[in-house]
Structure 1
Amino acid sequence: MTNLLELQQFYKVFNKSMEPMHQEIGHFNIFKVEDLLLPDNKPNYSRRNFFKVSLVTGHSKIHYADKCMEVQDTALVFTNPMIPYNWERISEKHSGYVCIFTEDFFSRFGPLKDYPVFQFTDTAVVPLSPQQLPPYQELFDKMWNELQGDYQYKYDLLRNLLMEVIHGAQKMQPAASHPQTGSNAAERITAIFAELLERQFPIELSNQVLQLSTPAAFARQLNVHVNHLNKALRETTGQTTSKLISDRILQEARILLKSTNWTVNEIAWSLGFKEPNHFSSFFKNMAGATPKQFRQTAID
C-alpha cells in the first residue's frame, strides 16, 4: 500500500496544534508556507486523506501522480487526497499559503473530487503570471484573516472564498480539454465509460486486480457493442477505447512504480497483466523505458 498521510499526522509533522473537527462543518485550516518548511527536503511521495489548495511562490517541482511539473515562480496547486503528491523545493526561499480541508467541509457543494482541478493532473498546477497573481493573493489573504477572526459564520465565508479560487483556476483552463456529460447518446456513453474506468483507481493493495482492462470488457459492462463504444469515444474524445484505457493504466503504473515498493511482477498483476513480460513490453512501448528503468530514474 502507498504511504498515507493522515490529517492528524500532518499536524504532528509540522508541530502544529489541531482543533477538534466539527462533524457539521468538517475541517479547514490555512497556513503560511514559511511556517511549513522543513529542513529535510527529502521527497516523501504519499497520498493524503485531505485536500490541499496552495498558493506558492518559489522555484519548486510538483510531483503529482505520474507527472513532475516545475514551477519557476508562482502557482496554484490543487491536490486530490487519492493521488500521490510531493512538493520538492529547488530554491530555499518560498512564500504563500496552504489550505487543508476535508471533503466534509464542502459537503453542500457536491463531490469535490469531481471538480476538474482535483480530477485531472494536467490542471492540478496552474502557473500564475505577475498580472494574474493579485486577485488570488487577495483571496488567500482574506481567508487567513477571516480564520483568525471570531465572525460567527466565518466558515461559510471561507468556503465561498475558497470556491472563488477553485472556479477562478478552472476558468483559466481550456474548456475543450474536459468533456462534459451531455444529452446525446455518445456523450452519455463516454461519461459512463469514464466513470467505470476511474472507479477502479487508485490501486491500494498489491492483491487488488483491475477488473476492466479491455474495450470488450467495458462494452459488456455497458451492454453495447464494442464498435459502438469505440465510435462514441472517438466522437467525443477523438481517441480510441484502447488508447484511453492504456493511458490510464500507464498513469497508474507510473504512480505505483514511484510510490510503492511493490515488485514489477506485483504491479503487473494488479494492473491486469497475467504475464509480467507483457506488462514490461506495454510499459516500454508507452513510456519509452522499462518499468525498472523508470523506477530507477524516479528514485534518482
Structure 2
Amino acid sequence: MDLIVHHNISDLYRSLNLPLEQELDFTIHFLPDLHQKLPFKSPVFRADYFSFVFVKDGKGSYTIDDNTYPFESRTVYFTNPGHIKAFEIIQSRDAYIITLTETFLMENVHPEIFKEFPFLLAETVPPKTLDQEVYSEFELLYTQIFKEFRNPGKYQKKVLGNLFVVLLLKIKAYFWQDYNPIEEGDRNSQIVKSFKRLLEQQFNGLLNTGFEYTHTVQDYANELNLHPNYLNTVIKSKTGKSAHQWIAERLISGAKSLLKNTSLTVKEISIRFGYSEPNHFSRFFKNYSGQTPSTYRKNS
C-alpha cells in the first residue's frame, strides 16, 4: 500500500483548505496562517514543486528522503521536486513559504535556470541559520514578493520573477557559490540512485517472458514522479550524460545480451523493446553500436 501522497501546488492548496481559483505555479504564504494549531506534523509526501522557507521566528524540522534537519529562528532552506518529504512545525511566529514550479522558474526567472543556478538541483540541503543583518536582506526581498503576490496585475508574474531572481542571487552568493552537481551526483544524489535502480530493474526483466520495456524519459519521469525536463537536467548535470543516453545505452546492452544469449529473432527482440517495426529497432541499434543486430549476432 502506497502511503506517500503525491501532489502539485493546487493539491497543496486543497489539502490546506485554501481558496483555489486556478491552477497555480507560484505562491507565497505567511506560515502561521496556514498552520494555526501547533505542533503540526505533515504526512509523508512527494511534491512536484520547489519550496523556499524563511523562518524569522520559529522552530521545527524537515525530512528529505532519509535525512532529517532541525531548523530554528533566522533560518533559510529550500526543497526541490521528486523527493520523499515530511516536516514538523513546533513554533511558528513569523515565517513565510514560497512554492513554485519548474515552468515558472524557466518562463519568469531565467530560461536556463539550472545552468545559472545549479544549486537548485542540490538534494542534500541543510538549513542555513543567518545572523540578523544577513537575514534582514532576505526578509526585505520575500516581504516585497509577498506584497506583489497579493496585488494581481498584468505584469505580476514578471515582477515576481524578477524579485525572485534577486533572491536566488542572494542565496547563491551566501551559500552555494561553489556547488558542483557532479560531485553530489557521485556521492549521494537520491534521484540518480533511483533512476539507476529503475534502469537495473528494467534490465533485469529483459529475459522474462512478456516483459515490456520502458524506454522513454517520460516513462522514467512518471515512475519517479518528476517532470521529464527536470529528470533529464538532474541526470545530465550529475552524471555528465542525459537520461536519454543512459536509457539508450542500457537498452543496447540488454539487446546485445538477448542477441548473444538467446534464440529470439530480431523481430521478437524489437517487440520486446517496444518497437512495432523491426527496421526502427535495427536503425536504433546501429546508431548506437555501429552495426546491425544481425551483424552483431553473427560476430558474437
Please indicate the TM-score interval, normalised by the length of the shorter structure: 0.5 to 0.7
Inter-partner Cα distance in structure 1 for 2:85 and 2:93 = 18
Give the ranges of 4+ consecutive aligned residues of structure 1 lying more than 4 Å apart after TM superposition. Answer: 111-114, 190-194, 196-200, 202-205
Shift of 1:136: 0.8
Q: Which has the higher contact order (CA 8 A, sep 6+)?
A: 1
Quote the residue 2:80 is aligned against: 80
Indicate how the Cα distance of structure 1 residues 129 and 204 shifts in structure 2: closer, same or farther if over 3 A, else same: farther
Question: SS of the residue aligned with 1:149?
Answer: coil
- Tell me, what secondary structure is at the counterpart of 1:96? strand
Q: Match for 2:46: what amino acid?
A: R
Shifted more, 167-176 versus 68-77: the winner is 167-176
Q: TM-score, normalised by structure 2?
A: 0.55
- Identity fraction in percent: 17
How many pairs were matched up? 198
Q: How does 1:281-296 map to 2 (within 5 A)?
A: none
Q: Which has the larger radius of gyration?
A: 2
Change (3 A) 1:84 1:129: farther
Q: CA RMSD in A?
A: 3.6
| Structure 1 letter corresponding to 2:40 | N
CA distance in 2, matches of 1:33, 1:71: 14
Cα distance in structure 1, aligned partners of 2:73 and 2:185: 39
Partner residue, 1:183: none
Say which of 123, 143, 160 aligns to 1:141: 143
Structure 1 counterpart of 2:194: 201
Residue 203 of structure 1 and its aligned partner are, at CA, apart by: 8.3
Matches within 5 A, 1:39-188: 39=37, 41-57=40-56, 58-90=58-90, 92-108=91-107, 109-110=110-111, 112=113, 115-123=117-125, 125-173=127-175, 175-178=177-180
TM-score of the aligned structures, taking structure 1 as reference length: 0.55
Which digits, 9 at most, give the CA deviation of each residue in 1:64-97, with x for residues without a partner? 232211112121221112112222123x333221
User: 5+ unaligned residues in a row in structure 1: which ranges?
Assistant: 181-189, 213-243, 246-300
Which deviates more from structure 2 when the two are superposed, residues 155-164 or residues 62-71? Answer: 62-71
Cα drift, residue 198 of structure 1:
4.9
Q: CA deviation at 1:32?
A: 0.6
CA shift, 1:142, in A, is 0.7
Distance in 1 separating the partners of 2:62 and 2:31: 15
Letter aligned with residue 63 of structure 1: T
1:29 and 2:27 aligned? yes
Q: Give the direction of change, closer, same or farther, for the CA distance of 1:193–1:42 in structure 2 (3 Å limit).
A: closer
The aligned counterpart of 1:219 is none
Cα deviation for residue 121 of structure 1 reads 3.4
Query: Are the structure 2 counterparts of residues 66 and 117 from structure 1 closer, same or farther at C-alpha, using a change threshold of 3 Å?
Result: farther
Q: Distance in 1 between matches of 2:101 and 2:86?
A: 19
Determine if the alignment matches structure 1 residue 15 to structure 2 residue 14. Answer: no
CA change 1:64–1:197 in 2 (3 A) is closer
